[in-house]
Amino acid sequence: MPSSSELFTLRGTTMTSRPLRVLVAEDDAEMRALLVEALRGDGFEVLEARHGSELMQLLAARLDEGGELRMLDLLVSDVRMPGWSGLDVLQALREVHARIPVILITAFGDAELHARAREYGACVMFDKPFDVDDLRTAVVNALSG
């Protein structure tokens, strides 16, 4: 297993040299800005959604008839947001068989919520506050796995 520093040297690119595209959905503007800055600093192209409804609009615009998400490689989403929750979105993605890694973050994590996130297929779920470097590592691991 590579170290974190080795993983971060692999970040942000694909074999086709297209930058990896991450969608960050977070209703707290400061937290969203922190996550976006960290991921852009790692070389990712980052799209932003301010709430669950905006997240669903962005996903729907990229979903093809076969359930594949075009030009989107990973989703990082807060769980509790206005409109759609991160869990609602994750469940909807799985219902249309969209295969995209999803990392969830929440300020209200408990054992039941973590179990539901795993059941719906989340790669990782972080409880706030969390170390941004841990999220960065989880992003790289999800994209390389």
Among candidate residues 76, 77, 1, 13, the one with its CA nearest the CA of residue 42 = 13
Please give the model's pTM, rounded to 2 decimal places: 0.87
Q: Mind listing the pLDDT tens digit for each residue in 115-139?
A: 999 999 999 999 999 999 999 999 9
> Which residue is associated with the tokens 């249309």?
96
Q: What is the DSSP string of 85-122?
A: -HHHHHHHHHHTT----EEEEESS--HHHHHHHHHHT-
Instruction: Give per-residue burial for 131-144: e unless 16+ CB within 10 Å, then b.
Output: eeeebbbbbbbbbe
pLDDT at 18: 81
Residues of the chain with pLDDT under 50: 1-10, 13-15
Model pLDDT, residue 68: 83
Which value, to the nearest 10 degrees, does the dihedral of the CA atoms of residues 132, 11, 101, 103 take?
0
What confidence score (pLDDT) does residue 5 get? 39
The residue among 28, 12, 30 whose CA lies nearest residue 20 is 12
Strand partners, 22: 46, 74
